[in-house]
Amino acid sequence: MTDHITQDPIYNTVNRDDFPAMLDVDRYGTRTAAFDGIISATHDHFWDPLDATYLDFSSPFDISSDYIMPPETIPELQSAVADRLDEGQKIQLANESTRWSLSAILHGEQGALSLSASLCHIMVDPGAQEYASNQTREEARHVTAFSRYIGARWGRPYPVGEAFGELLNELVGAEEVYKKLVGMQMLVEGLAMGAFANIHAKTNDPLLKRLTQLVMTDEAFHHKFGKIWADKTIPKLTAEEHARVEDWAARCFETVLFNLINIRQKRVIYEQFGLEWEWVRDACREVFTDADRRETLKESTNIFRVLVKTLLKSGIITDRTRPIYSHWVDMEEMAGENEDMVGYAIADEGIEYLRGLNAGRKVIGQK
């Protein structure tokens, strides 16, 4: 029998094929109010990726002459790789690397869409089910938005990296609710908040800057859903249950840390410039050591730092797995920080922007 480690009844589930359980008349009257605030707030951050009022995908940006992300954010250009490229090739490689990163984000959004939809099939509480369906809708517009952005700039995305694709497949297909919520709602969503905050702060493309902000207005609430689960679940876990959740989180963390931006998996990019991926890997290792990796994790918008803070503030990390994270992050410093996550301020600004924009919009059917 599957052990979902839910503890709180609002996360109770049934088998994904047990639709008759959804028709139980007593079920309809047991709706939790825990997610009402998040559900109601969706009206404050409505946006439509198919409406140019929100995002104009026809806005120009010359990827042959301008960096979408600054060259200092591209690891390969800080190594001997740059010595083999002229300026035009440097721009092209940098923008292809950005294309790779945004393709990973697109695949992550598709994973979140499919996982949220899968929660609708198994969650018994009508309130939890409504939240999951609401998130599914929002993830769908993220897939549309990133598909359109990548299409406008490059034509098509890169395939998903092997390791990240395997993780997404495992999360979507997992039967255990705790794996879905810890893996997607906390780790992948935490990763996304860090990525979007970093892109929003540094990109040279106004369209991408606006896109990431609008997505963050949704993701901030998705991230909070995972936090609600942690608040209601983690304190009630037995030592054995906590160890299982903690070990799962640590394994997911190491998977994304060592594989999300992996030279070997990006070899399709280097082939375009006649570069062997093994040589690129060695060149990057010469200038980007573990010490350098730890230094980058000090940035508040570093995607992996945001991820660790999510787990730490949720009470998932204990002394058992603390060394895994403390090798990369100053855990004592992080423990003293408040619980506000990077990106929340950007999301709040985006919500205010959308409120003003939507206030002047006509409701469908309105004359």
Q: Which pLDDT does position 367 carry in this prediction?
A: 46
Q: CA nearest 189: which of 19, 149, 197?
A: 197
Q: At residue 364, does pLDDT exceed 70? A: no
Phi, psi of 77 (to 5 degrees): -80, -5
Task: Taking each helix axis as running N to C, give the angle between helix 162-173 and helix 239-259, from 0 to 180 degrees, rounded to the nearest 10.
Answer: 150
Distances (CA, A) of 305 to 74, 100, 185, 331: 18, 21, 16, 10
Band (pLDDT 50/70/90 cuts) for residue 59 is very high
Q: At residue 32, does pLDDT exceed 70? A: yes
User: Whole-prediction pTM value?
Assistant: 0.91
Query: Helix, strand, or coil here: 322?
Result: helix
Q: CA nearest 164: which of 36, 263, 258, 300?
A: 258
Q: At residue 165, does pLDDT exceed 70? A: yes
Higher pLDDT, 47 or 253: 47
Region 57-64: mean pLDDT is 96
Question: Cβ neighbours of residue 185 under 8 Å, at least 6 residues apart?
Answer: 222, 223, 225, 226, 229
**186-225 pLDDT per residue, tens:** 888 888 888 899 999 999 999 999 999 999 999 888 878 8
**35-51 pLDDT per residue, tens:** 999 999 888 899 999 99
Phi, psi of 224 (to 5 degrees): -65, -30
- Tokens 């205010």 — which residue? 352
**99-113 pLDDT per residue, tens:** 999 999 999 999 999
Band (pLDDT 50/70/90 cuts) for residue 256 is confident
Q: How many residues are given for the chain?
A: 367
Euclidean distance between CA atoms 159 and 150, whole angstroms: 13
Q: Which pLDDT does position 33 carry in this prediction?
A: 93
Euclidean distance between CA atoms 326 and 170, whole angstroms: 26
Region 216-240: mean pLDDT is 87
Euclidean distance between CA atoms 4 and 140, whole angstroms: 26
Residue-range domain boundaries for the chain: 9-353
Euclidean distance between CA atoms 52 and 49, whole angstroms: 7
Q: Which pLDDT does position 338 carry in this prediction?
A: 78
**266-288 pLDDT per residue, tens:** 999 999 999 999 999 999 988 87
Enter the DSSP assignment of 317.
-
Region 53-67: mean pLDDT is 97
Q: At residue 185, does pLDDT exceed 60? A: yes
| Two structure tokens written together for 170 | 């495992």
Architecture of the domain made up of 9-353: Orthogonal Bundle (1.10)
**295-350 pLDDT per residue, tens:** 766 676 677 887 888 888 889 999 999 999 888 888 888 888 877 777 788 989 99
Cβ pair 208, 195 in contact under 8 A: no
| Two structure tokens written together for 205 | 């493309």
Least confident of 119-133, 178-192, 306-320: 178-192
**287-296 pLDDT per residue, tens:** 877 666 667 6
Enter the DSSP assignment of 47.
-
Name the burial class of residue 22, with classes exposed (0-12), middle (13-18) and buried (19+) by CB atoms within 10 angstroms of its CB: middle
Enter the DSSP assignment of 159.
P
Q: Which pLDDT does position 207 carry in this prediction?
A: 98
Angle at 275 between CA 289 and CA 195, to 5 degrees: 50
